[in-house]
Structure 1
Amino acid sequence: MNTLTLTKKLVNLPSWVGNNSDEVAVGKFIEIYFRKYLPGINLTRQYLPGGKRFNLMASPPGAKLLIVGHLDTVPPQPAWKSDPFKPIVNGGKLIGLGTADMKGSLAAFLSALTNVCTRINPFGLALLFYCDEEYNFQGMKTFVSDAPVVKPGLILSLDGKPFLGSGCRGLIEISGAVYGLSGPSAKPYSGVNVIDQFVLSALNLKSRLSNFVDPLLGPTTTNLAYLQGGYLVSNKSKNEFGKIGNIIPDYAQFLLEIRPSMSSVNAKFVTKLLTRICKINSLKIQELNVKFDYSPWIPDYNSPLSKKLQDAVASASSTTSTANLFFSGFIDTALLNQIFPDVPKFVFGAGGANQHSAEEYVTVGNLKLTEQVYSNILTSFL
């Protein structure tokens, strides 16, 4: 089964999370594939909380290389014109949900591994195919929390584009409630407009955090992702906002997302700074909830194993270019720093620029290139 055919079969299986959809069918497909084409590699299930969804792992003792890749996709968007689960080839592009992120990469790896295993012992290879990358990172968090027995010398994520990458900014997500002071709108000085003042506070926070800059990862950025405010109708109903024009709003709920490029910027630092800024602007934060608090993944291109990996990639792609990490998104491979802090980690995949978009596609050329790169990496490290 070639990479193109295998990608199509994976896309045929919806694996977005929600409305009775999840990654289970893709996981079962991979289990069947290994039993048929890769019987020498033993995959085991690692169940997520809830007992239905599962990661797939191969954890041989003495593994040198750990390959990781996720099984889920984002949900299909209404803007899709073609059927997102019936992929088609058009103009050298394979169009379908998950082709770029990252079922094309997964198919390329399975094809490469199948071919390499005809001549090389695979027992130096550890694998993790995991759930929930696009949502709440439950698959990777389950793997990390279960203290895996593998101790690899190098980690490669398949969740990338066709150039070598290492590192990403972190992720902090904070939600909460903030209070001002109500009063008649005809007398602005009689109260504290919580919406006006919190916007000023968020802009101040954004400005201060932008001074934390890493030379490879770029600046720390801040996104005020949600703000809902009005006058508080009742202390018993924190979600009921009054919408009368002649009252100064005194209550708001917010969501802030920060992408830190330096490890000194963490949730504790941000919440302390935000609280101080709000106090200066006559606001009082009553509730704070931290959903994510993940440090940046600092790139490593200089270790001997990193150099060896770069050579393996260059021999297939005729390039030594690496990813531009300025304004990078968060990659949950960074969570592996919690258990493998000193192990070099990289990403390489077939993904393109339009992942998560309607009419998502991967080029057939990138599928072939990625399969060859994976073959070179496996041959070099096993």
Structure 2
Amino acid sequence: MTVEKLTANAILLLKKLIETQSFSKEEENTAILIEGWFVENEIPFKRTKNNIWAMNRYFDERKPTLLLNSHHDTVKPNSAYTNDPFKAIVKDGKLYGLGSNDAGGCLVSLMTTFTHFYAQENLKYNLVIVASAEEENSGKNGLNSMLPIIPRIDVAIVGEPTLMNLAIAEKGLVVFDAVVAGTPSHAAHPNNNNSIYNSIEVLQWFQDFKFEKTSEALGDVKMTVTQINAGSQHNVVPAHVDLVIDVRVNDAYSNQEIADILQEKSPCTKITPRSLRLNSSAISTEHDLVKAGVAMGRATYGSPTLSDQACLTCQSLKLGPGDSTRSHSADEFIYLSEIEEGIKIYVALLNRVIV
């Protein structure tokens, strides 16, 4: 089947995906649609929970393996939608609908690319594709659960909307729960250890603190206090103030290093990371994928947003049609031309690297 025909079928599949609810952990029905693609194209596949995956016909364990990955779960639509989020609407060259941009367009484009190369012989790389679940909630049954099941991966292309530019690095994430303690008391009595007042100095520390190491691709580590909670009634000084701190980690630090620094230096009574598994990721600018993309005129940049790259230990490149700024927005859309262009660029890029 020609790339043009595959592209037309990919757009039809994306419309079906939009019109099938697939919130994280509820992707059963979109998984069935994705299975249908592989059946129609006579490609053997496997399903593990709601993850669908396949290998190219001439898979050879002696060769390095390139993973193509994107996800088919979505966030829930926000209240500002004016369109039906579960209706695929085409207007002025735009395909509207929940998950169209994040990351349905990327997924069907990568599925098309995999299908194009599936039966080719003598490729320099094996190809493995995973249409993964639970990306939006970093769930335990997403791509991370597939890594012990699929063949060992040497490098990956993760499909997220990047305007088909090369995200050569991606910030990691650590969320911390922190406590600022004080002495509980009646509001009418003197108290020189009011936990709420104590938190003023702590909040100022978080606002002013700078991590020393910066990154050429990702810049500085960004730390933001995003939640604060204390007290239960007007006449009681609370024993503690609870804070939540969001830390976006560059590739100069591991998540463990960030936790060690904050636990040593922050003026909190207690600070605890929720998880250390969502590390930053990157690919060398000397990797053939990057050099090929740059030769094709694609820009490189560092991405501040998290994706399934965070669970990979190999080098990985984030690349896909669509625009990240549309993700999770009301009346989400992707241009049909972006999908068409995205497939052409994916195919041309792999022609330079694996053929």
1:27 paired with 2:16, answer: no
1:363 paired with 2:351, answer: no
Q: Equivalents in 1 of 2:253, 2:64: separation in Å?
A: 33
Q: Equivalents in 2 of 1:262, 1:63: separation in Å?
A: 24
1:373 paired with 2:345, answer: yes
1:163-222 residue CA offsets vs partner (Å, 9 max, x unmatched) = 12111111111224442112454666x232222322431431342244442122011111
1:243 corresponds to: 233
Q: Equivalents in 2 of 1:199, 1:262: separation in Å?
A: 31
Query: How has the CA–CA distance of structure 1 residues 218 and 137 changed in structure 2, closer, same or farther, with 3 Å as cutoff?
Result: farther
1:50 corresponds to: none
Question: What letter corresponds to residue 134 of structure 2 in structure 1?
Answer: D
Query: How has the CA–CA distance of structure 1 residues 262 and 336 changed in structure 2, closer, same or farther, with 3 Å as cutoff?
Result: closer
Q: Equivalents in 1 of 2:167, 2:108: separation in Å?
A: 20
Q: What 5-or-longer segments of structure 1 have no aligned partner? A: 48-53, 231-241
Query: Aligned to 1:25, what secondary structure does the other structure show?
Result: helix
TM value normalised by structure 1: 0.79
Q: Equivalents in 2 of 1:180, 1:272: separation in Å?
A: 23
1:328-379 residue CA offsets vs partner (Å, 9 max, x unmatched) = 1222213212xx2xxx321211122211111001012211110111221343
1:218 corresponds to: 219
Q: Equivalents in 1 of 2:280, 2:329: separation in Å?
A: 26
Selected match of 1:143 from 143, 146, 158: 146
Q: What 5-or-longer segments of structure 2 have no aligned partner? A: 1-5
The correspondence of residues 194-233 of structure 1 with structure 2, limited to 5 A, is 194-230=195-231
Offset of residue 253 of structure 1: 2.4
297-306 vs 366-375, greater mean Cα deviation? 297-306
1:294 corresponds to: 278
Q: Equivalents in 2 of 1:116, 1:192: separation in Å?
A: 67
Query: How has the CA–CA distance of structure 1 residues 299 and 198 changed in structure 2, closer, same or farther, with 3 Å as cutoff?
Result: farther
2:18 corresponds to: 11
Offset of residue 42 of structure 1: 2.5
64-73 vs 175-184, greater mean Cα deviation? 175-184
Query: How has the CA–CA distance of structure 1 residues 187 and 276 changed in structure 2, closer, same or farther, with 3 Å as cutoff?
Result: farther
Q: Equivalents in 1 of 2:156, 2:293: separation in Å?
A: 10
Q: Equivalents in 2 of 1:110, 1:42: separation in Å?
A: 13
The correspondence of residues 265-304 of structure 1 with structure 2, limited to 5 A, is 266-267=255-256, 269-270=258-259, 273-274=262-263, 276-278=265-267, 284-285=269-270, 288=272, 290-304=274-288
Say whether the 8 Å CA contact 2:106–2:339 is kept in structure 1: yes
Query: How has the CA–CA distance of structure 1 residues 43 and 202 changed in structure 2, closer, same or farther, with 3 Å as cutoff?
Result: farther
1:80 paired with 2:81, answer: yes
Say whether the 8 Å CA contact 1:67–1:155 is kept in structure 2: yes
Q: Equivalents in 2 of 1:217, 1:166: separation in Å?
A: 9
Selected match of 2:128 from 126, 130, 142: 126
1:248-278 residue CA offsets vs partner (Å, 9 max, x unmatched) = 3322222221111144353464366356533
Offset of residue 293 of structure 1: 4.3
Offset of residue 109 of structure 1: 2.5
1:182 paired with 2:184, answer: yes
Say whether the 8 Å CA contact 1:105–1:159 is kept in structure 2: yes
1:354 corresponds to: 326
Say whether the 8 Å CA contact 1:159–1:347 is kept in structure 2: yes
362-371 vs 202-211, greater mean Cα deviation? 202-211
Q: Equivalents in 1 of 2:274, 2:331: separation in Å?
A: 34
1:128-172 residue CA offsets vs partner (Å, 9 max, x unmatched) = 22111110242122123x2643343x3111113221211111111
Q: Equivalents in 2 of 1:46, 1:324: separation in Å?
A: 32
369-378 vs 66-75, greater mean Cα deviation? 369-378
Identical aligned residues as a percent? 21
The correspondence of residues 45-84 of structure 1 with structure 2, limited to 5 A, is 45-47=47-49, 54-59=50-55, 60=59, 61=61, 62=63, 64-84=65-85
Say whether the 8 Å CA contact 1:226–1:256 is kept in structure 2: yes
Q: Equivalents in 1 of 2:122, 2:40: separation in Å?
A: 17
Say whether the 8 Å CA contact 1:92–1:364 is kept in structure 2: yes
- How many residues in Structure 1 have an aligned counterpart in Structure 2? 338
RMSD: 2.7
